Structures are given as structure tokens and as C-alpha cells.
Amino acid sequence: MPRTEPRVRRLAAGLPAVAAAAVYGWAHWCLAGPASPPTAVAWLGAVLLLVGACVAYGVLVGGSGSVFGGLLLALALLLTVTAADQTASRPATASCVVREVHTRLQGSLGEGAPSQKTVYRLTLDCPGGYPGELKDDRAVAAVGEEVKVAYDPRRRASPAPEAETSPWRAALCAVLLLAASTVIAGRRPGPATRPRPGFTPG
């Protein structure tokens, strides 16, 4: 049994990187592939990958570390999807007028997770009726002002302010969280490999 411990640790430590690569590949294909699946299928696939990765992480790592590391992994995978979305092509632009601005406070998920932030949802009047809204973590324009929006006519990638679709911040945060979850996984043996109290191998 002790010989299996290094193998389990390696599997657990390698899981975050493999999961991130799988999630990014799926999201990139759904957003920029030549024959992307329907939106419902794309979301279902992303959810299954995320949940499956977190469950596998919890089984391999075990203990309290699996909870904190699994949370970091989930956040990293969500940021990976964000990075994929921001790298997707938005070849069209539109000059839109802001009709309404709504705000929502997005709370933190605990210690070590990103702090709470305000999410802004702008309702837009655009030529042709699309895009109808724009979400951002800052107020890009006030009611009545005009904002230039880059969007995908195929409506796969979410609209974004023109020239503000850099994936680097999301990618960097994802890498840091993946590194933290990898360190946690590498330092903790899997639940099946821990010796039972009072048990001495013969």
C-alpha cells in the first residue's frame, strides 16, 4: 500500500493542469471552433468537466485540504473559461447607447478566494438590436452615453468593450490558483494511502 502513495500524489498534483487544459480546449472549441455545439451542450460539457475535476480532486487528495484545494481549482477553471472567452474572436463592432445600468455585488467565496466585487450590467440600444446588454466589472459608461462594443455575430462569445478583451489577467489568476491547488495536492496523500491508527504493515 505505501508504494501507491507517490502515485496518488502525482495523479492529484497533475490533475489541476490536465483539468485546466481540458476545460480551455472545450471552451475554445465551443467559442471559436468551425462547428461549435449548441449553447446548451457547450454549457453542459463545461459543467461536467468542472464538477468531474473537482470530485476527482477531492477523492485523490482527501481530508480538509481537498475542500480548500477543490475550491481553488473550481475558481481556476472558471477563470480558464473566462480567458477562453476573452481570446475568442469578436470581429464586429457596434456603437450603442446605454439605456440602463444595473449593479450586483458578487461576494467572495472565502479566505484565499478573490475578494468581493461589483458587477455592472448595462442594457444597450444597438443598431439591429444586438448586443442587448454588456457585463463588466466596472462602469464603462453611464446612462445615455455611447459605448463601442465588440461582438461575435454568431453570438458564441459574450460582447465586450472594444479593445478590452485581453485574457492575460484571467489567465494569470487561473495559473496562480492552479499552482496553489497543485501544491496542496502534492503535499497530501490520498485518503486510501494513509495508514490506519495502530496498524503496522507486516
What pLDDT, on a 0 to 100 scale, did the predictor assign at position 3?
Answer: 46
What pLDDT, on a 0 to 100 scale, did the predictor assign at position 47?
Answer: 93
The strand order across the sheet containing 92-106 reads 133-136, 117-125, 92-106, 146-151, 160-161
pLDDT-flagged residues of the chain (< 70): 1-5, 106-115, 164-165, 188-202
- The DSSP bridge pattern shows strands 117-125 and 133-136 to be antiparallel
The cell 496498524 sits on which residue? 199
The cell 477543490 sits on which residue? 70
Whole-number Å distance between alpha carbons of 117 and 122: 16
87-102 b/e with 16+ CB inside 10 Å = b?
Answer: bbebeeebebebeebe
What pLDDT, on a 0 to 100 scale, did the predictor assign at position 188?
Answer: 58
Residue 149: count other Cβ atoms within 10 Å of its Cβ.
25
What pLDDT, on a 0 to 100 scale, did the predictor assign at position 111?
Answer: 55
What pLDDT, on a 0 to 100 scale, did the predictor assign at position 107?
Answer: 60
What pLDDT, on a 0 to 100 scale, did the predictor assign at position 183?
Answer: 92
